[in-house]
Amino acid sequence: MTKHAGSLLASAAAQIGVAVAVERNRKGQTQEQVGQAVGLSQLDISNIETGKRLSGQVNNGLVEGLFNYLGLPSDLASFVGWWRDHGT
């Protein structure tokens, strides 16, 4: 992966993270509350919101559950899973 492509993908991950944070805030919930509701840790929610890569222990089903819970498109969840496996 080129440096430019990596930067574009990191930017996309960060933008998706902003969408997660916005929807979480619209629900009036903390990262910890959302994490408990969907089976993720507060750190996992924080990592998604800041566009960081997730650990390999976070499976696609958990990420999809988060996006469903927040009412976000499932294709964004697919990108987060891909980013976990292939990001820089």
Give the chain's domain count. 1
CATH number assigned to the domain comprising residue 27: 1.10.260.40
How far apart, in whole angstroms, are the C-alpha atoms of residue 26 and residue 17?
14
Does residue 59 contact residue 45 with C-beta atoms inside 8 Å? no
What is the secondary structure of 4-30 as a DSSP string? HHHHHHHHHHHHHHHHHHHHHHHTT--
Domain assignment of residue 19, given as a range: 3-86
The predicted structure's pLDDT at residue 43 = 96
User: Residue 52 corresponds to which amino acid?
Assistant: K
| Segment 16-35 mean pLDDT | 97
The predicted structure's pLDDT at residue 84 = 84
**pLDDT: is 50 or 5 the higher one?**
50
Band (pLDDT 50/70/90 cuts) for residue 88 is: low
Band (pLDDT 50/70/90 cuts) for residue 4 is: confident
